[in-house]
Chains A and B, each alone.
Chain A
Amino acid sequence: MEPTPPDPERQMQPAPLKPPGHPDSGLEAAIREEAEGAPEDSSGLGTMTENNFWLKKIEISVSEAEKRTGRNAMNMQETYTAYLIETRSVEHADGQSVLTDSLWRRYSEFELLRNYLLVYYPHIVVPPLPEKRAEFVWHKLSADNMDPDFVERRRIGLENFLLRVASHPILCRDKIFYLFLTQEGNWKETVNETGFQLKVDSRLKALNATFRVKNPDKRFTELKHYSDELQSVISHLLRVRARVADRLYGVYKVHGNYGRVFSEWSAIEKEMGDGLQSAGHHMDVYASSIDDILEDEEHYADQLKEYLFYAEALRAVCRKHELMQYDLEMAAQDLASKKQQCEELATGTVRTFSLKGMTTKLFGQETPEQREARIKVLEEQINEGEQQLKSKNLEGREFVKNAWADIERFKEQKNRDLKEALISYAIMQISMCKKGIQVWTNAKECFSKM
């Protein structure tokens, strides 16, 4: 009983999460040319307009994972996993795809790419990477990074990440992203040359802003609360699910013991023997069926985990807004105080306490020329300040507008994806029930023939 998906491909089954052998494992990312997309960041490297590449449809897949050994920065031997990224362009006419690029990347390079995107696109909810280390494991799953199942799930997660970036109207145009897919050697140097690491907002600055900002846009405050709730509830759900999976595993596996005992017992039974033996076989089938069932559920858990990590991406956007807003407020405050100082100097009244005022009182008045000079300096500063405030204001508003547009896009994506994931969970349960019915019906037949 399969529900007919009204929309092709991405609606019912998010292609990124299918196993490698599956025909759809490389999703087509149709890159739309957006004439009036949101303005890119001011950095010259932020956009790229290589027409040939982006007008065609491309397919990206992370098709293989390989264990490698090499020497790290400290010249010590290390083992790591490398992933093969293949890019194909699809000719419109006949749908044939041609392999245009193929290169190997390791997880740390993905991280580098993402950190770069975070700096240059602070108003975008940047897709998250799959987890670095296995979390929410239930006992059978290994927490080892080298474990083949973990590597496989990570491969799928990395592919998903690339597809998300490639299908984002703004991120897909980034040159560094393009180079990530096409230029194997030297890519790290190229990224580092952008100097993005210098532009990263310090944690301390961000924390300070969060506490002290006075008038952040209410929507961002709400968004922050939402992302905290989302993170908390999904974590909780994943933990409970892992425990439930553990128990379910136990129930199924213990039935496997029947198989062996029935078989031994059947040796001494004349009439019951056959029935016992074949029933035992079905018990074995039942016990081993749980492995596939739980593996499928692991994919479901990964879909939820992606949104768990998206919560952090949402918070990053909120933090940037708070930083900008705080910056703006500080600039406005600074301007106001300079204006006041100027006024006081001009009118000769001292309303505010200032060091200059005190020293003047103590050491005598300054000369009119000195006062004029100071007023002039202040007026210049005030002018500059007003310009800066204007541009900061503009920047801030642009940021809010663009960020909110991306957040709306994100919300729709999230609702679609989560609905799909939940439906797929229901489908998994149905499949599990059907298997159960079949096995036990077979077993019952064997028992009744004893």
Chain B
Amino acid sequence: MESERGASGAPRSADLPARGAGGDDPGGGVPFPGSGSGSSPLLPTDVLSLDEDEDDLEVFSKTSRGEFDSSEFEVRRRYQDFLWLKGKLEESHPTLIIPPLPEKFIVKGMVERFNDDFIETRRKALHKFLNRIADHPTLTFNEDFKVFLTAEAWDLSSHKKQGPGLLSRMGQTVKAVASSMRGVKNRPEEFMEMNNFIEIFSQKINLIDKISQRIYKEEREYFDEMKEYGPIHILWSASEEDLVDILKGIASCIDKCRKATERRMSGLSEALLPVVHEYVLYSEMLMGVMKRRDQIQAELDSKIEALTSKKGDPHLLTEEIGRLEDKVECANNALKADWERWKQNMQNDIKSAFTDMAEENIHYYEQCLATWESFLTSQTELHLEEDSEDKL
């Protein structure tokens, strides 16, 4: 396992292939190629679906880190456990860009997504989710993450009960809405730019998601219509003595091209659609991160305001302000660093996904070209044969 982990210092996610994150090997226990961070992290190696009806999932992980009792773990998790983990990570690291979770259910209207196999798609997305966390220089050491990957079901339940309760979380939300407005007013320039980017990015990636889905749908309909097209040439050949060969040839070419269309479709649904969709979810995440940052700043601002308007104990306030100023600085720095990392990953993932899509299309056209060209060659040869026979 160790040998497979590279020693590069570059952000690990660059190597994460857009397609096949766990999709190539549904069998368990295949180690994920190593991370680049200095200390070897905990690697979720596979997320397996056990039961198609329930969301019982099996999570396999491997590690070489000394802090663990063993080097391999296998635990059972449910979707709500993933949800819990995400919540905890957001809580502990409010201004880090936490990877997005796939939706729990099929979003209405997109019934035919991703090969009509929602469970499988979600499984792959969950696998990606865990690996992104593992690759993150900070999140990989998060305690809740470790517990998630290693604890037996009952241990996890009891661990879950320990954090701030549901009520306090709801309280947070109410406060958040009130204060986020203030946070926006005093937002530093660089975060204004960031926010602007996020807004536009979110728009565009959503559009691209829709366009890509639509392409898949159109390709599928094309594939369906082609079903009759080849066979009708065969039918025709039954009443034409002299045209049997050529008609059968055409029918065979059409059928081969149809198969190639099928391959193209599945390539699209593996390479492009999941990546684009993940970034749609990411864009929602990012907006949440911005809000939380603004919130933290708002807390500080409100204390400062209180101090200047002489409401409350100046000493206490000054102390709090000091603490909050640190908090704000931490949050901003964390976000800035993570932002750069995220952008780099995004560029690589998008580039990779679209390059793969282009490759799929090239491959499709090359296959069809070869089919038709060989048909044409055989017809020309036949023709020349007939001609030379005539001349004899």
Question: Which residues in A have some Cβ–Cβ distance to B below 8 Å?
Answer: 1, 3-4, 6, 226, 229-230, 233-234, 236-237, 240-241, 243-244, 246-248, 250-251, 254-255, 257-258, 261, 264-265, 267-269, 271-272, 275, 279, 415, 418-419, 422-423, 425-427, 429-430, 433-434, 436-437, 440-441, 443-444, 447-448, 450
Asked if residues A415 and B243 are in contact (CB atoms below 8 Å), the reply is: yes
Mark each residue of chain B from 250 to 289: 1 if its CB lies under 8 Å from any CB of chain A, else 0: 1001000100000000000000000000000000000000
Bound CA span A272–B201, Å: 13
- Say how far A429's CB is from chain B's closest CB, in angstroms: 5
Least Cβ–Cβ distance between B238 and chain A, in angstroms: 8
Task: Give the distance in Å from the alpha carbon of A257 to the alpha carbon of B369 in the complex.
Answer: 26
The answer to whether A244 touches B368, judged by C-beta atoms less than 8 angstroms apart, is no
| A–B pairs, 7, beta carbons within 8 Å | A230-B239, A236-B232, A237-B232, A244-B226, A269-B347, A272-B347, A450-B347
Residues of A close to B250: CB separation below 8 A: 422, 425-426
Q: Which of the residues B221, B359, B387 comes within 8 Å of A6, measured between beta carbons?
A: B387
Which of A248, A257, A271, A419 is within 8 Å of B222, CB to CB?
A: A248
Binds A, one of B44-52, B70-78, B211-219, B318-326: B211-219
Known: A237-B233, A436-B361. A447 touches B354 (CB 8 A): yes
Question: Are B362's CB and A233's CB within 8 A?
Answer: no
A437 and B365 in contact, given A247-B221, A443-B358 (Cβ under 8 angstroms): yes
A433 touching B369, Cβ below 8 Å:
yes
Interface residue B176 (Cβ < 8 Å from any Cβ of A): no
Min CB–CB distance B311 → chain A (angstroms): 42
Q: Select one of B229, B350, B369 contacting A272, CB under 8 A.
A: B350
How far in angstroms is the closest Cβ of chain B from A240? 5
Please determine whether B351 and A1 come into contact, CB atoms closer than 8 angstroms. Answer: no
Taken together as a complex, chains A and B put the C-alpha atoms of A1 and B364 apart, in Å, by 19
Contact A268 B201 (CB under 8 A): yes
- Pick from B219, B222, B355: contact of A447, CB under 8 Å: B355
Asked if residues B369 and A426 are in contact (CB atoms below 8 Å), the reply is no
Q: Judge whether B387 and A261 touch: CB under 8 Å.
A: no
Contact A258 B222, beta carbon cutoff 8 Å:
no
- Which of B218, B354, B361 is in CB contact (< 8 Å) with A254? B218
| Residues A437 and B362 in contact in the complex (CB < 8 Å), given A240-B228, A247-B218 | yes
Stretch at the interface among B2-10, B153-161, B179-187, B375-383: B375-383
B362 touches A430 (CB 8 A): no
Known A430-B369, A436-B361, A448-B355; 19 more pairs at CB < 8 Å: A3-B383, A6-B384, A241-B229, A244-B225, A251-B222, A254-B215, A265-B204, A272-B351, A415-B240, A415-B243, A418-B243, A419-B243, A423-B379, A425-B250, A426-B250, A426-B372, A433-B369, A447-B354, A447-B358
Alpha-carbon separation in the docked complex, A426 to B196 (Å): 51
Q: Which of B200, B246, B365 contacts A422 (CB 8 A)?
A: B246
Known contacts A3-B380, A233-B239; A250 and B222 CB within 8 A of each other: yes
A419 to B221, CA, bound (A): 29
- Shortest beta-carbon distance, B261 to chain A, in Å? 9
**Main SS at interface, chain A:** helix
B217 to chain A, nearest CB (A): 9
With a cutoff of 8 Å between Cβ atoms, the chain A residues found around residue B239 in the complex are 226, 229-230, 233
Q: Could you say which of A267, A419, A425, A429 contacts B368, with CB atoms under 8 Å apart?
A: A429
Inter-subunit contact B373/A1 (CB<8 Å): yes
Partner of A437, one of B215, B232, B369, B372: B369
Whether B373 pairs with A447 at a CB distance below 8 angstroms is: no
Binary interface encoding of chain B residues 193-218 relative to chain A, with 1 for a CB under 8 A from any of its CBs, else 0: 00011001100100110010011001
B366 at the interface (CB under 8 A from A): yes
Known contacts: A248-B222, A250-B218, A255-B215. The answer to whether A436 contacts B365 by CB under 8 A is: yes
| Contact across chains for A265 and B200 when beta carbons are under 8 A apart | yes
Complex contact B350–A430 (CB within 8 A): no
Q: Which residues of B contact A427 (CB under 8 A)?
A: 376
Q: How far is the CB of A223 from chain B (nearest CB, A)?
A: 12
B-chain residues with CB within 8 Å of residue A425 when the two chains form the complex: 250
- Is residue B236 within 8 Å, beta carbon to beta carbon, of the partner chain? yes
Q: With an 8 A cutoff between CB atoms, is B242 at the interface?
A: yes
Which residue of A237, A272, A423 is within 8 Å of B236 (Cβ)?
A237
- On whether the beta carbons of A233 and B235 are closer than 8 Å, the reply is yes
CB pair B373–A450 under 8 Å, yes or no, is no
Nearest Cβ on chain A to B113's Cβ, whole angstroms: 16
Evaluate contact between B229 and A444: CB separation under 8 angstroms: no
Q: Which residue of B lies closest to A225 (CB)?
A: B239
Given contacts A244-B226, A247-B225, whether A450 and B362 have CB atoms under 8 Å apart is no
A230 to chain B, nearest CB (A): 7
State the CA gap A42–B240 with chains docked (Å). 35
Give CA–CA (A261, B203) in the complex, Å: 9
Min CB distance B300 to A, Å, is 29
- Which residues from B are CB-within-8-Å of A265? 200-201, 204, 208
How far apart are A287's CB and chain B's nearest CB, in angstroms? 11
CA distance A423 to B214 in the complex (A): 33
> Do B383 and A6 touch (CB < 8 A)?
yes
Task: Tell me if A444 and B232 are in contact (CB < 8 A).
Answer: no
Top 9 A-B residue pairs of the complex, sorted by shortest distance between their CB atoms: A444-B358, A436-B365, A247-B222, A433-B369, A265-B204, A250-B218, A3-B380, A440-B361, A447-B354
In the complex, residue of chain B having the shortest beta-carbon distance to the beta carbon of A269: B347
User: Which residues of the partner chain A approach B236 to less than 8 Å between Cβ atoms?
Assistant: 233-234, 237
Is B225 a contact partner of A426 (Cβ separation < 8 A)? no
A251-B207 Cα distance, complex, nearest whole Å:
17
Distance of A221 from chain B, by nearest CB (Å): 15
Docked-complex contact B218 and A261, CB < 8 angstroms:
no
Interface residues as binary, B155-172 with A (CB distance below 8 Å gives 1, 0 otherwise): 000000000000000000
User: B365 to chain A: which residues have CB within 8 Å?
Assistant: 433-434, 436-437, 440
* CB of B247 within 8 Å of the partner chain: yes
A254 and B376 contact, CB distance less than 8 A: no
Residues on A with beta carbons closer than 8 Å to the beta carbon of B225 = 240, 243-244, 246-247
